[in-house]
Amino acid sequence: MVTAFVRSVLAEPRAPDPPARDWRDWALVSALLIAAGAESIFRPDVPWRPLATVVALLVIPALLWRRAHPLLATAIGFGGALTLVLPTFVYDVSEVGLDSMFGLIVLPYALYRWASGREALIGTAIVAVPAGLSLATTDNLGNLVGGTTVLVAAFALGAAMRFRAVAHGREVQQVRTLERGELARELHDTVAHHVSAIAIQAQAGRAVAAADPGAALEALAVIEAEASRTLSEMRTMVRVLRDGDAADYAPQHGIGDLHELIRMSPLVQVQCVGNLADLPLPVEVAVYRICQESVTNAIRHAHHPTRVSVEVRGEAGVVELRVHDDGHAARLSTSLGYGLLGMAERAKLLGGACRAGPDPAGGWTVSATLPREVPQ
């Protein structure tokens, strides 16, 4: 288990998109440098004053690179700290260094917040050497406990903020995935439906053009209307994807619009029975979209159908729908089509279920059951 943990840490990449250096970084470094200069001039009890001053003035600017190069900044900062600790073991002095060097405590935080796993392990070892030696030389228990607590808190805060950022990134990605799925369903259920209607009307117009020019003109009018709707829907999708605007779909259809499906083909018959009043809009939209996709599939893929029946029934607590065609079903594909997948997703999101397949009595049937109440 320990080996697996170490491997996972070593495989951890750097945190993405660290913030660029801004005025606050310059303000922090400037304040620490001014404090270090003031200490070196006005503080009377600084042992090894030249060394302490030079080290402080050299390592404090490393804070400017703590996000872009966390390991390098940590090595510079705590390497300088080690330089100040060593004299305490060789000579009879203590606490060589300036109080302004305490600003280096942000380096452990930055190390765990922005560095890769490998860099974090190396940086922890770098920090541990001067910190451990410094704590080992103190005779004050309060300083020992306080120093250890502050150092561990810096590491812990960096790790916590990193975890929070990762969790937020995953949440954003999940939202984007849901939005992409919603766009995909909307694109398939609207644009693809209109294109299918155009193809069907074009075939019908070509078939009757010679014998009935008036019917052919009617087919052309339907094609023009469907093409305009398709263009409008596609512009909406492109605007959402390009500009990041909130999706502004066309007015949603409901159960009251199911009779519009009859325009697709004279074979379509629609029947609505039972209590279908006061249904939530998501349920009505799902019923319409599932029926629309089922009718489109029946007209496009069924072989020689004579009837496509759409039945929606309102029962106690649920809404049931059934779309059946009596044609010869085409040979099933080994992969699930986007239309069937979209219907199943719509039903599942509302807590219902959708099934599609060959009917034992012949033809193809799509059936779905949706709860009347939308789950929260």
What pLDDT digit, counting tens, does each position of 113-172 carry?
999 989 999 999 999 998 888 877 776 777 778 878 988 999 999 999 999 988 888 888
pLDDT at 219 over 90: no
Query: Who's near 209: CB < 8 A, 6+ residues apart?
Result: 216
- Chain-centre distance for alpha carbon 33: 42
Q: What is the pLDDT of residue 251?
A: 61
DSSP conformational letter for 270: E
The domain locations on the chain are 2-137, 253-376
Quick: pLDDT tens for 302-331.
Answer: 888 889 999 999 988 899 999 999 887 554
pLDDT at 237 over 70: no
Q: What is the pLDDT of residue 8?
A: 75
Tokens 């959402």 sit on residue: 240
The secondary element (H helix, E strand) that includes residue 322 is: strand 318-325
Q: What homologous superfamily is domain 253-376 in, according to CATH?
A: Histidine kinase-like ATPase, C-terminal domain (3.30.565.10)
Quick: pLDDT tens for 189-207.
Answer: 666 666 767 776 777 677 7
For residue 129, which of 181, 80, 196 has the smallest C-alpha distance?
Answer: 80
Q: What is the pLDDT of residue 223?
A: 77
- More reliable by pLDDT, 15 or 212: 15
Q: What is the pLDDT of residue 147?
A: 79
Residue at 48: amino acid letter = W
**What pTM value is reported for the model?**
0.59
CB-CB contact of 267 with 308 (8 Å): yes
Helix, strand, coil % over all residues of the chain, rounded to 5? 65, 10, 25
